[in-house]
Amino acid sequence: MRSHLLSFVSALVALVAAQTIVFPTSAPVSCPVPAIRQSWLNMTAADQQTYLDAVGIAMDKGYHFNFLQILSESDTYYEYYSTCGWAYSSRRLLLAYQNMLRSLGPAYACITIPYWDYFADNAQIQTGACDGTLGNCSGILSSMGGNAGAPTTLTIDGIPVSGAATTSSPLNRFCELYNISCSGYVPRGPNWSTTSFPAGFGYATLANMLKKATSFYSFTFGLKNGIHNSMHLALGGVMADANHTMADPLFFSQHAALDMMVQVYIECYFGTNRTVEKKQTSPWAFSVCAPSIAEMPRAPRVTSNITQRLPQSFENYTTIVDAADHPVIGQFFASTPTAYFSYVDATDMGALSYTYEKNVLVSSLLANGYICPIKVYKRRRLVDDTSLTAKTAAARWPRNSRYTAVQRLNKLRRQFLAKAMTYTSYKLDAALELYAAAECLIANTRTPAVATTGIFSTKPMAIFTSASTTPVTETVSAPCSSPALTLLGRSANAFELRDYMLRFVKRTSTIT
């Protein structure tokens, strides 16, 4: 963090527990409620362009710059990257940014943040539909501007960031210091065409992580230490710079995908439309964690207010204000609640409520009772992905290589799990873990970026558990790097299952 910010950091203000959630009772215009966030590649070309145009206008107005300042403020940075608050803090940032985009004119009034469906990208890799590199397997990267540009180092709000100077629209409207200095490019990772797509994005890997979740911490830090960190590192450029990662519009779509998975977890273990009391007290709704036991008093509680702050202005740079009080972007936070528990369920936020249009593999994580607790599963009255409802939703998806890959893996997943059962004396949990290990073996033929130090590395955390009134130290590894899967991945059974899976997934066929 910058020294000129650190010198102005004060002690963390005591946070007051809120007893009610206040949401706006109606949307500012007649937009659908709940809003539906789509996969970027499932949007029409016209809708994609509308979104990019809105981001460009946000850059012109200076709004985008103010948003990117938030994560570089020291208290915000700490709470976001080093505590269990990150998932709901990210949820609030996405909603505020979406509010901002909607304010830009009638054409943008009902815009939603599109998510990056890197789970479908991974399905393409598993079925041999692309070469396993980030640039060639993730279409969102090229359609959001690519990474063509000369090597450069750009100082963004006082911090140098290196990468390829990417000038495609809307990045050609980027300003790195308010509207005072506008380079017209964003530094992106220069090697997407040779960078391996990271591991951990497969169906079995996610299903195993969801099945084995023991708390909010265990699942959300599995996401954070796994697909979150590995994708930031693989992308490089400003996306690998924790202070100003929001400079790249890709940030919002990547974090929307993570947010979707957090909501999958919530619907699986906590349920929807629960009471405020349940949101404040359930161990499935939130965990208290910090980098060390000594720092536990500083960690946010579920009733704490989310810390999101930034400099007041260029002229008053050393005056740090809450995002809701900021003279420029405060208006976009005004309708967003402040307490963490307000963000537990994305479908229960009044006019801010939203859902995700999921591909069939992600949907199946919720539809299968063997993954989610049965009583929650029954209460939600979910349908299986073979139902008419799911088929009708799938009919809207473009028929392309991603769709074909997802449909193929969805048809094969039961077969693969059944095969894994034969190796584990038909014990379901062991079979799902073996299936995940075999999937990681397929992914690990590539060499994804892994951090051993820094904010994007895996570290032990202090946490209160349901079995202990005093904090204990735990480490949640990235799914494919966990001790259990690493050990299992060395077994003959895992290699045999991997080879069995490869024989089927890479056969060519037409999916209807």
- Please write the tens of the pLDDT for every residue from 286-331: 999 999 999 999 999 999 999 999 999 999 999 999 999 999 999 9
Q: Is residue 194 part of a domain?
A: yes
Instruction: Assess whether the previous peptide bond of 32 is cis (omega < 30° from 0).
Output: no
Q: Are the CB atoms for 385 and 410 separated by under 8 Å? A: yes
Helices (H) and strands (E) in the chain — how many of each?
Answer: 21, 10
Residue 428's domain is classified under what CATH number?
1.10.1280.10
What residue type is assigned to position 196 of the chain? S
**Which residues form the domain of 111?**
3-8+32-505
| pLDDT given at position 489 | 73
Residues 371-399: tens digit of each pLDDT: 787 555 444 444 334 443 444 445 555 66
Place of tokens 């230490």: 225
User: In one letter, which amino acid is 501?
Assistant: M
pLDDT value, residue 466: 58
Q: Do the domain assignments include residue 14? A: no
Residue 452 lies in a domain: yes
SS (H, E, C) 38-86: CEHHHCCHHHHHHHHHHHHHHHHHCHHHHHHHHHHCHHHHHHHHHCCCH
Counting as low any pLDDT under 70, the low residues of the chain are: 1-29, 369, 374-399, 444-458, 465-468, 507-512
Q: d(Cα 479, Cα 205) in Å, to the nearest integer? A: 7
The helix/strand/coil state of 310 is strand
Residue 172 lies in a domain: yes
Residue 454 belongs to a domain: yes
The reply to whether 16 falls in a domain is no
Predicted pLDDT of residue 441: 87
Q: Decide: helix, strand or coil at residue 133.
A: strand
Q: Report the candidate in 454, 426, 441, 451 with the shortest Cα–Cα distance to residue 495.
A: 441
Predicted local confidence at residue 467, as pLDDT: 57
Encode pLDDT of 170-220 as tens digits.
999 999 999 899 999 999 999 999 999 998 999 999 999 999 999 999 999
**Contact, 309 vs 480, CB < 8 A?**
no
pLDDT confidence of residue 382: 41
Q: Model pTM? A: 0.89
Q: Directed axis angle between helix 118-126 and helix 428-443, to 10°?
A: 80
pLDDT at 24: 52
Q: Is residue 477 part of a domain?
A: yes
The pLDDT of residue 314 = 93
Quote the number of domains for the chain: 1
Q: For residue 144, tell me if it sits in a domain.
A: yes
SS3 category, 347: coil
Classify 150 as helix, strand or coil: coil
Residue 281 DSSP symbol: H
CA 448 to chain centre: 18
